[in-house]
Amino acid sequence: MSKIGKKPDFRQAKQFSQLSENDGFSCNDGKTFNLAATLKLSMKLVSYLNEEREQLGVLVNDIIYDMEVLHPDLPNSMNMFLNYWEESFPVAQAGELMLREGTRTSNKGIPLKDVQLLAPVPLPASCRDGYAFRQHVAAARRNRKVEMIPEFDQYPIFYFTNHHSITGPGDIRCMPDHFEKLDFELEAAIVICKHGRNIKAAEADEYIGGLMIMNDLSARRLQMEEMLLNLGPAKGKDFSTVIGPWLVTLDELQAFEVAPKENHTGTAWNLRMQCWVNGKQVSDGNVRDMDWTFAEIIERASYGVDLYPGDVIGSGTVGTGCFLELNGSGKLQDPNYPEQWLQANDVVEMEIDGLGKLSNTIVAEETDWSILKLKK
């Protein structure tokens, strides 16, 4: 476990975390709840701006309640909550259930529409992005008139992106060179909730705190130029990776669980993935189409390496999930197909069943500075 701050002392709340699944717990009005029923519920964890600082809360019926409403000793930031997940999560679940059922009431809730949401994990310990959807990889290679690479089916891969450029809903600031073929990428993402090393795929789902939407913004000209040197992607993707709008714990997604693809290990989810640009739908896929599961990506990522609470891992782009693929497919059918790329003031909306809708507006920085023009 990462040593971040003082470990929460729940004192009276230990009655929740120490119960067995067959035990119950009582509320102030004497009503008793069964812990097994509680653990079947999920939470939507949100991070938002509160007096210029990050605040963690839970979303219940479009109302956000700070963690102190659930219990005064719960961590008030996502970073702390993840680092003490095994102690904090059951206590938070119990408090959230009381609010949802109306057994506990509070006048401290804030309407969702009145807050500025941050990334659910505002300060991730790291950010990896996978390459899990065969449909996307095959289409991109077909569009370049090259054969499908057989190594895709042999092992899952990922790259590290800039975890300091993680953002949530709202404006995305872009420099002039980013607009040289600026692209979105529709993905799902997970966050690690406990420390692990050399994690086998069969146990890896236990390390997943929840799912969220990811938009891996990509400046394609910068990306393609640097990858000519067989390094990257780096500069073409380091300016913004969006996650949000909240983190959904796995409990709520149990009804959507499906078997992984043949000869694969880990949980898959039947969750439709869609993207709109300026109100026009451009992408349509499903999380279940991941050929490599998050569990398998965790297994490879953790081989000889420590994973820590707060590490974010993206799925990679779903099929039809970016303009690069869509433009290539269009030109394959019609050489005169007009390419489409993101422009200033465009609104990108992504939705995944059960995970919410993530909305961003592309904003141009007020400068003409270009590193592309510095090429020798």
pTM for the whole thing?
A: 0.91
Residue stretches of the chain with pLDDT short of 70: 1-42
Could you give the percent of the chain with pLDDT greater than 70? 89
* 192 plus 50 within the same structural domain: no
187 and 55 within one domain: no
Tell me, yes or no, whether 318 and 213 share the same domain.
yes
Residue 2 lies in a domain: no
Contact 212, 247 (CB under 8 A): yes
Identify whether 245 is preceded by a cis peptide bond (ω within 30 of 0). yes
Does residue 188 contact residue 314 with C-beta atoms inside 8 Å?
Answer: yes
Pairing of strands 347-352, 356-364: antiparallel
Alpha-carbon distance of 95 to 115, in angstroms, equals 22
Identify whether residues 208 and 279 lie together within a single domain: yes
Q: How many CB atoms lie within 10 A of CB 133?
A: 27
CA–CA distance, 41 with 58 (Å, rounded to integer): 13
The pLDDT, as a whole number, for residue 9 is 61
Task: Specify burial of residue 174 (Cβ count, 10 A radius: 0-12, 13-18, 19+).
Answer: buried
Residues 162, 127: contact at Cβ < 8 Å? yes
Q: Which of 52, 80, 114 is the last residue of a domain?
A: 114
pLDDT of res. 10: 56
77 and 146: one domain?
no
Q: What is the pLDDT of residue 101?
A: 86
Give pLDDT, residue 102.
84
Give residue 41's pLDDT.
Answer: 52
For the chain, the residue count is 376
- How many domains does the structure of the chain reveal? 2
Same domain, 279 and 319: yes
Same domain, 252 and 360: yes
Within-domain flag for 219 = yes
Look at residue 23 in the predicted model and tell me its pLDDT. Answer: 40
Q: Is residue 120 in some structural domain?
A: no
61 and 199 part of one domain: no
What pLDDT sits at residue 5? 54
In a domain, 4, yes or no: no
Question: Is residue 23 included in any domain, yes or no?
Answer: yes
C-alpha to C-alpha distance for 155 and 291, rounded to whole angstroms: 10
Whether residue 108 is found in the same domain as residue 243: no
Given 48, 81, 114, which residue is the final one in a domain?
A: 114
pLDDT, the chain, mean: 91
Residue 64 lies in a domain: yes
Boundaries of domain holding 182? 126-374
245 and 298 co-located in one domain: yes
Sign of CA dihedral 316, 322, 325, 329: positive
Residue 269 lies in a domain: yes
Nearest to 187 by CA among 274, 96, 70: 274
Domain boundary among 85, 114, 143: 114
Supply the pLDDT for residue 139. 95
DSSP string, 171-228: EEEE-GGGGTTEE--EEEEEEE-S-EES--HHHHGGGEEEEEEEEE-EEHHHHHHHHT
- Distance in angstroms (rounded) separating the CA atoms of residues 286 and 186: 10
Burial classification of residue 163, based on how many CB atoms lie within 10 Å of its CB (0-12 exposed, 13-18 middle, 19 or more buried) = middle
Residue 244 near residue 119, CB atoms below 8 Å: yes
Residue 126 identity (one-letter amino acid): S
Q: Are 295 and 171 in a shared domain? A: yes
Same domain for 83 and 181: no
CATH code of the domain in which 201 resides: 3.90.850.10
> Is 232 among the domain residues?
yes
What local confidence, expressed as pLDDT, does residue 56 receive?
A: 98
Query: What pLDDT does residue 15 have?
Result: 46
